[in-house]
């Protein structure tokens, strides 16, 4: 009898784990689908519908979905982050992020765009580089979008599977921020979007 109960509990556990995995994969797929739409809509869209099939990604890997500790900067002066277009964009350093990825500890700085537009309220920006750049990923680094409201008791979940290319990776003519040196990682992030072949 005990053996039957154990097997039943194990079966229920496996079903629950499989559902969580399926739900997570679906979440990432939906995120990518929404991004694809944003790349083809509007007068300044960098891609055409026919080019969406050329977008490449690493296989989804849940180990890159990280619970990171976050330390807000008590005071921070606005900075000008250079762009690949030769201009600068004003940002305010928001916080330091500390994560462990594949047993490697990393630290990254998160920024807030200094803008009067209500569209950017509560939105955070994480530009970074890693050693895959120029090989399997865009040479200019990749970005992550985060939300201030998702910070809970000093913890922010950062999913590197949602890493995406700057618009400059697809087409010239955009003012893409260059990831600051403090966000240049010495490890490989095998997650998120890969290089786009123009």
Closest CA to 126 of 168, 182, 74: 182
Alpha helices per DSSP H over the chain: 2-38
Condensed to tens digits (0 to 9), the pLDDT of residues 94-126 reads 999 999 999 999 999 999 999 878 888 999 999
pLDDT at residue number 76: 83
pLDDT in tens, 153-164: 999 999 999 999
| Pairwise CA distance, residues 115 & 118, whole Å | 8
Closest residue by Cα to residue 177 from 90, 49, 77: 90
Both tokens of 102, joined, read 């594949």
Q: Cα–Cα distance between 76 and 91 in angstroms, integer?
A: 10
Cα torsion 172, 173, 175, 179 to 10°: value is: 10
Q: How many CA atoms lie within 13 A of 46 on its CB side?
A: 20
d(CA 136, CA 139): 9
Strands (E), the chain: 65-72, 79-82, 88-101, 104-113, 123-128, 142-147, 155-159
- Higher confidence at residue 68 or residue 15? 68
Q: How many CB atoms lie within 10 A of CB 91?
A: 22
Nearest to 160 by CA among 144, 138, 137, 178: 144
Domain map (residue ranges) of the chain: 60-183
- Per-residue pLDDT band at 75 (split at 50, 70, 90): confident
């Amino acid at each position: 009898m005990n053996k039957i109960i154990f097997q039943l509990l194990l079966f229920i556990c496996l079903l629950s784990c499989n559902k969580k995995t399926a739900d997570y994969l679906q979440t990432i797929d939906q995120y990518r689908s929404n991004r694809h739409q944003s790349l083809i809509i509007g007068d300044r869209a960098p891609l055409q519908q026919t080019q969406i099939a050329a977008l490449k990604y690493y296989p989804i890997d849940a180990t890159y979905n990280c619970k990171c500790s976050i330390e807000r900067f008590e005071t921070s002066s606005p900075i000008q982050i250079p762009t690949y277009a030769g201009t600068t964009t004003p940002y305010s350093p928001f916080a330091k992020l500390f994560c462990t990825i594949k047993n490697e500890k990393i630290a990254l700085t998160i920024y807030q765009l200094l803008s009067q537009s209500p569209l950017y309220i509560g939105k955070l920006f994480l530009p970074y580089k890693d050693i895959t750049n120029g090989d399997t990923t865009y040479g200019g680094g990749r970005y992550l979008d985060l939300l201030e409201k998702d910070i809970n008791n000093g913890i922010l979940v950062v999913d590197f599977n949602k890493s995406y290319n700057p618009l400059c990776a697809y087409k010239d003519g955009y003012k893409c921020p260059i990831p600051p040196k403090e966000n240049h990682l010495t490890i490989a992030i095998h997650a998120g979007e890969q290089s786009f072949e123009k």
